[in-house]
Structure 1
């Protein structure tokens, strides 16, 4: 065939062929998905600061170690309440003609998944300390520190966001650690990462390959099996207050020997867990762990009992019934949003 000897015609035909394939295989399906996909009800677009933080997240290569996708397998339950769906990424639109939408789903989990990190860890103070030196709050962490997102000043000025970093984690520097605008924007983006609930009546996608739990006959005992307070503490509290309950000096208060923990009247302790706490200049703001995590009275009681009887603490235990009554009071006294 003479066509194979006329390179201009051959290349023109190849260009038309691949152009047609691209149109029907990539462009038109993508356009269809764009027009027939919408964010979930309750999804909130990123603010200017959060979008700036997203760009820093991309710039610093966070996507190389952290994913933002909850797969539909049982082992991913720890990262979200349900598997991810396409609508979760509908707000990730193209930012410019040169920049793709960039859902930042990731392909590797050297670090934990961040799909729901805004719920799991809503504390700005924790994120800032963690970014400056991850070993401060997680001794076993292999994450790189990001000290260039902070300034070291001889003394923090009015309006500065001071980061309470213990001296041994200061990278050999002396002074007050102050968060830059970039650090604050990055944290704002991380705090925005929250899995949106599906609309009422919409069935949750199932997690596959569920582990079957053997049920034991507990009818002869004194009721239902008590929840594992140590496990709940590890999931909800340990990142700040540490495994030994001693907290971090200048960052997070200790629970070991705490007057609030040792108090036989649990009202203040329940109120702090459900509504958060911001009354100490020496420490960061504690988020409303119980409310943010939708913890039940049984779970809150288990956490409290673990704290009241660990690290040398010998306080009176609480019951779920006591906690439920105080949780109802805490809801009434919570500040209106």
Structure 2
């Protein structure tokens, strides 16, 4: 056995190949069973689909790169749960495409931001000039969001894709109702309105769970 170890340890290429094989088997053993566990494949009972306004806000949030600095994944550590709330579970994000979990926190985690005692007006002021409400913030300002109206041209198709391709439980009636709002009360909504609606929706499944 010592001779085998000696051969492997002296052959870098062989060491790399065997390491990759070992890691691959270990990864498969941990990951594959998750595909059959309800906790990772089924939504929480309290989870609801995004409204068209929230969906538009999520699109703007991704477009502006907000997810690069803000994670949406509370880890199961005491320091995390005391600050941000209950740790994240897969059932909260089964309808997220793309999902916005991550590991980089230039800014605070936002997975539970909708549960915090933060008003809609605070979010608006924070987006327009972060340092007015958080003096030490290094977040850039997004004043143009209050000036740009939402582009609704692809929203009906987006909702149908999430329904048909990703399994989000929108009914035809739900989509028709959302499009009525798009063409009515939300017709002149700004991108700021949409982003704030999206932020306020984050974590609401956990509020309903309580």
Indicate the residue corresponding to 1:190 in structure 2.
199
Unaligned runs of 5+ in 2: 1-23, 149-187
Q: Residue 54 in 1 paired to residue 64 in 2?
A: no
Distance, in Å, in 2 between the alignment partners of 1:110 and 1:127 is 18
Maintained 8 Å contact 2:56/2:195: yes
| CA 1:121–1:102: 2 relative to 1, 3 Å | farther
The Cα offsets for residues 123-171 of structure 1, whole Å up to 9 and x where unpaired, read as: 111101100000111111110000111239xxxxxxxxxxxxxxxxxxx
- TM-score, L = length of structure 2: 0.59
Maintained 8 Å contact 1:151/1:180: no
**Which stretches of structure 1, 4 residues or longer, exceed 2 Å deviation after superposition?**
29-36, 78-82, 195-200
Indicate the residue corresponding to 2:18 in structure 1.
none
Indicate the residue corresponding to 1:139 in structure 2.
135
- TM-score, L = length of structure 1: 0.38
Relative contact order, higher structure (CA 8 A, sep 6+): 2
Indicate the residue corresponding to 2:95 in structure 1.
91
Q: How do 1:55-134 and structure 2 match up within 5 A?
A: 55-92=59-96, 101-134=97-130
Distance, in Å, in 1 between the alignment partners of 2:36 and 2:51 is 25
Distance, in Å, in 2 between the alignment partners of 1:199 and 1:46 is 15
Q: Which has the higher helix share?
A: 2
- Secondary structure at the counterpart of residue 145 of structure 1: coil
Cα RMSD between the aligned structures? 3.2
The Cα offsets for residues 279-315 of structure 1, whole Å up to 9 and x where unpaired, read as: xxxxxxxxxxxxxxx9xxxxxxxxxxxxxxxxxxxxx
Distance, in Å, in 2 between the alignment partners of 1:189 and 1:81 is 18
The Cα offsets for residues 312-336 of structure 1, whole Å up to 9 and x where unpaired, read as: xxxxxxxxxxxxxxxxxxxxxxxxx
Shift of 1:106: 2.2
Q: How do 1:159-174 and structure 2 match up within 5 A?
A: none
Shift of 1:83: 1.7
| CA 1:143–1:121: 2 relative to 1, 3 Å | farther
Unaligned runs of 5+ in 1: 1-20, 93-100, 153-178, 201-293, 295-337
Which protein is bigger by CA-based radius of gyration?
1
